[in-house]
Amino acid sequence: MIDQSPAIILLAPFLLAILLALLGIKREWLCFPLVITGLAISVAASVVTLMRVIDEGTIQYLFGGWEPPFGINLRVDGLNALVALAVSTVSLLTAIYSKRAVPAETSDKVSQFYTLYLLSVTGLLGIVLTGDAFNLYVLIEISALTSYALIGMGSKRATLAAYKYLIMGTIGASFYLLGVGYLYIKTGSLNMYDIQEQIVANDLLGSPTILVAFILIMVGVWIKMAFFPLHAWLPNSYTFGPSTTSTLLGPLVTKVMIYVMIRMILTVFSPEFAFDQLDWSNIIVWMSVIAILAASISALAQTSLQKMLAFLIIAEVGYMVGGVWLADEMGIVGSIYHIIADAFMTLCVFLFAGIIFTKTGRRDLSAMEGLFTKMPLTMVGFLVGAFSLIGIPPTAGFFSKWYLIQGGISSGHYEYVAALLISSLINAVLFFRIIEIAYFGTKPAEGHGHHHEEERKDGPTEASFSMLFPLLITAALLIGIGLYNQEVVAIITDFVSQFNIGATIL
């Protein structure tokens, strides 16, 4: 059974989704346990797979027993084993959170919601694991369709946002599909590794078709990951959808798409092509710099917590795209580490936002008033997430910034370093604004306000355990990933170093 582990990662949630669709309609109580089971299995499987990858190296899983390129295969190496683990863990934690939130927000659609939820996760995991370029497209569409629906279940505005997302998403996905077509017409193959071999064999690196294919795929993926000028769909979708939806999609979708970009650059087109032959690093790094700054500044302008976080996601996307296009080994390692770190940071703050929303039913910042006394534990969780986004040691965010900046310096892109620092300062402003509101209240007393030993008027009214638990776990994970960053980075470095890009790692 152990050698089935890569497939189980995504087949477990898939199977459970179908069972849930069949059994869950009449028996609502069944939904939650089924979801948890499926995702728990998936997490376990991804841990096993990661272990196997660490000691066996790359794992192949052939569907239908057909050798690639004839059949479709899962190809798991250090990169996607890590990302898959992150994806499954995040979705499990979100699922735990959703226990109370889903019945509250999407009443009498619980079973449909969870079916879509599981299928969405399946899609994301499939994207991460597959070794076949076309199969990737199918799974992109699955995760996209499910997310349209998951968002569309929200309020009035959510429907509109979902529609916009649908249009943009379809353009993105179609561009990707076209890109694959352009690759196919020149190489006649669909398997990522085989495509690479064909490109090398018939030395196609010079051919305009491959170039156009590359552009198409990049643009498609950028639309999907909301890279700055193409981000219009994201903020509203994550603001007005059900809180569980944004908690699931916020951390994952963009990160997975960044994974796709890295995979395409490194595996399909090869770094020589992307970085050396077409020397676009400067342009794209500058684009990402603009992305980071613009997104951070517009985050400052937001009064709604969810929307602010949505813009932060866009800024983080800028980090990672820039990091990859530094065309420097350290930069790529940093971006990959940031994929994982950022998945959990974003999860952490979105969980917080969700908790606040379900507790107070409000999205504006003033809803945080006096939370330090009301919900101390929740605030602890939030603080860790916030510090991580700001980049304060020893949270994971600090180290991902560390590696990214290191890459920026060693590749001489100081504008990128500057952007990174400015945005983390802006994050500091954003989050300390929230902390101030939570600590002082919106209008603190003139003069020495509480100058005497006061009894707390209202004791702590913490969120329910099912919401608090994932938050605190995430916080713990953030610190864990931070302290043990070397282990993670070691795996990533093993993967990246085989491409010997730019400067060698210190």
Partner 1 sequence: MELLEALSAKFNYWIYVIIMMIGLYAMISKNNLVKKLIGMSIFQTAIILFYVSIGVKEGDTIPILYHDQVHPSHGDSHHEADTGHGEDHHPSHEEIVANLHIEPDDFANPLPHVLMLTAIVVGVATLGVGLALTQKIYRDFGSIEENEILESIKSAK
Partner 2 sequence: MPSSITSFTPVLASLVSLLAVLPIVLLGKKPNLREGATFLAAFIKFGLVVSMLPTILAGSTIEFTVWEIVPNLAIAFRVDGLGMLFGLVASSLWIVTSLYSIGYMRGLKEHSQTRFFTFFAISLSATIGVAFAANLFTLYLFYEMLSLATYPLVTHHQDKEARTGGRTYLTYLLSTSIGFVLPALIFVYVKTGSSMEFSSSGFLSGHITASEALILLLLFTFGFAKSGLMPFHSWLPGAMVAPTPVSALLHAVAVVKVGVFCILRVFTGVFGTDYLQDLDIATVVAWIAAFTIVVSSLIALTQDNLKRRLAFSTVGQLSYIILGAALLSDRAVTGSMTHIAMHAVGKITLFMCAGAIFVATGKKYISQMDGLGRKMPITFAAFSIGALSVIGLPPTGGLISKFYLVTGAMDAGQSALLLIFLISTILNAAYLLPIGYRAFFPKDPELAKQPFSWKTTEEANWQCITPLSITAVLAIILFIKPQFLLQLAGLMVGANG
Partner 3 sequence: MKSFALIAVVLTGWLLLSAVSDFPDWGDTESPANDYRLSQHYITETFPETSVPNMVTAVLADYRGYDTMFETVVIFVAGIAIMSILRRKPLDHLKDKGKETRTYKKDPDLIIDTTCRLMIPIIQLFALYVVAHGHHSPGGGFQGGVIFGASFILLALSRDLQAAQRWVPEKRVLNLAGIGILIYSGFGFACMLLGSNFLDYEILHKIMPATPIEARSHSMLGVEIGVAFTCTAIMFSIYSNLASNGDMKETL
Binding site for partner 3 (CB under 8 A): 4, 7, 11, 14-15, 18, 21-22, 25, 61-66, 69-72, 106, 108-109, 112-113, 115-116, 119, 122-123, 126, 132, 134-135, 138-139, 141-142, 145-146, 148-149, 152-153, 159, 162, 178, 182, 184-190, 198, 202, 207-209, 211-213, 215-216
Q: At what angle do helices 414-440 and 376-390 cross, to 10 degrees?
A: 160
Q: Is 211 in the site for partner 1 (CB under 8 A)?
A: no
| Site stretch for partner 2 (CB under 8 A), options 134-142, 188-196, 206-214, 390-398 | 390-398
Q: Is 362 in the site for partner 1 (CB under 8 A)?
A: no
Closest separation in Å from C-beta 170 to partner 1: 6
Structure tokens, 313: 């996601």
Torsion angles phi and psi, residue 130, rounded to 5: -70, 155
- Of 344, 101, 116, the C-alpha closest to 242 is 101
Q: Give the side-chain half-sphere CA count within 13 A for 21.
A: 10
Q: How far apart are CA 446 and CA 449, in angstroms?
A: 6
What region does 224 belong to: left with phi over 0, alpha with psi -120 to 50, or beta? Answer: alpha
CB 63 within 8 A of CB 143: no
Q: Segment 60-79, which members bind partner 2 (CB under 8 A)? A: none
Helix, strand and coil content of the chain, in percent to the nearest 5, comes to 80, 5, 20
Q: Segment 78-137, which members bind partner 1 (CB under 8 A)? A: 134, 137
Q: Is 370 in the site for partner 1 (CB under 8 A)?
A: no
Residues for the chain: how many in total?
A: 506
Q: What is the 3-state secondary structure (H, E, C) of 417-481?
A: HHHHHHHHHHHHHHHHHHHHHHHHCCCCCCCCCCCCCCCCCCCCCCCCHHHHHHHHHHHHHHHHH
User: How many contiguous H segments (helices) and E segments (strands) does the chain have?
Assistant: 20, 2
Q: Is 184 in the site for partner 1 (CB under 8 A)?
A: yes
CB 275 within 8 A of CB 496: no
CB 330 within 8 A of CB 410: yes
CB 397 within 8 A of CB 388: yes
Taking CB within 5 to 8 Å according to partner kind, which of partner 3, partner 2, partner 1, none is near residue 170?
partner 1
Q: Is 458 in the site for partner 2 (CB under 8 A)?
A: no
Those residues whose C-beta lies under 8 Å from the C-beta of residue 468, and which sit 6 or more positions away, are: 355, 377, 378, 381, 462
Contacts with partner 1, 137-166, as mask; x by CB under 8 A: xx--x---x--xx--x---xx-xx-xx--x
Q: How far apart are CA 470 and CA 411, in angstroms?
A: 38
Closest separation in Å from C-beta 144 to partner 1: 8
Peptide bond into 6 cis (omega under 30): no
Nearest residue (CB) to partner 2, 195 versus 368: 368
Q: Is 402 in the site for partner 2 (CB under 8 A)?
A: yes
Taking CB within 5 to 8 Å according to partner kind, which of partner 2, partner 3, partner 1, none is near residue 25?
partner 3
Nearest residue (CB) to partner 1, 152 versus 381: 152
Q: Is 448 in the site for partner 2 (CB under 8 A)?
A: yes
Closest separation in Å from C-beta 395 to partner 2: 11
Taking CB within 5 to 8 Å according to partner kind, which of partner 2, partner 3, partner 1, none is near residue 448?
partner 2
| Site stretch for partner 2 (CB under 8 A), options 28-36, 90-98, 224-232, 428-436 | 428-436
Taking CB within 5 to 8 Å according to partner kind, which of partner 3, partner 1, partner 2, none is near residue 453?
partner 2
Give the total of residues touching partner 2 (CB under 8 A): 39
Those residues whose C-beta lies under 8 Å from the C-beta of residue 354, and which sit 6 or more positions away, are: 97, 101, 243, 244, 246, 247, 467
Binding site for partner 2 (CB under 8 A): 390-394, 399, 401-402, 405-406, 409-410, 417, 421-422, 424-425, 428, 432, 436, 439-440, 444-454, 483, 485-486, 489, 505-506
Binding site for partner 1 (CB under 8 A): 134, 137-138, 141, 145, 148-149, 152, 156-157, 159-160, 162-163, 166-167, 170-171, 174, 177-178, 181, 184-185, 190
